[in-house]
Amino acid sequence: MKALRIYIAGPYSGSDPKEINRNVCNAIDAGIEMFLRGHYPYVPHLTHLIKSRAEETGRELTWHDFIRWDMPWLEMCDALLYLGKSSGADLELEEAKRLGKLIFYSIEEIPDLRDVEERND
């Protein structure tokens, strides 16, 4: 198996900044684990930094702007990891299905390419 480009879809929004931070960290942690397994994650939650900077500089980016920002990346990915229900993640999941992408519902489902490398040594 070759390394996959995997889009991470999961909740971002929350009832308070701590919940948003927890959602962002969950997506980043999933991305780190995927990378360590030999794959190339796309973590759309990192646009949290872009949102913060836009607000600091008086520019407004809406939820729809971020969906528009992320969809081309989803198209380029081989697969999607669905971390949990949210309006954005559900939209991304449906688009990935429409595009015929591989869908993973947990990190454990994603092949660990380190195992393959060790057998080839």
Instruction: Identify the three-state secondary structure at position 117.
Output: helix
**Residue 118: what pLDDT?**
53
DSSP 63-94: HHHHHHHHHHHHHH-SEEEE-S--HHHHHHHH
51 token code pair: 């949102």
pTM exceeds 0.85 for this model: yes
Beta-carbon contacts of 24 under 8 Å, excluding residues fewer than 6 positions away, are 12, 45, 46, 48
**Residue 120: what pLDDT?**
53
**Residue 28: what pLDDT?**
96
Beta-carbon contacts of 42 under 8 Å, excluding residues fewer than 6 positions away, are 5, 6, 7, 8, 31, 73, 74, 77
Mean pLDDT, consecutive 10-residue stretches, the chain (121 aa), reads 96 89 95 97 90 88 90 97 95 97 97 72 49
Domain boundaries, given as residue ranges, for the chain: 5-120
**Residue 49: what pLDDT?**
87
> Which numeric CATH code is attached to 5-120?
3.40.50.10400
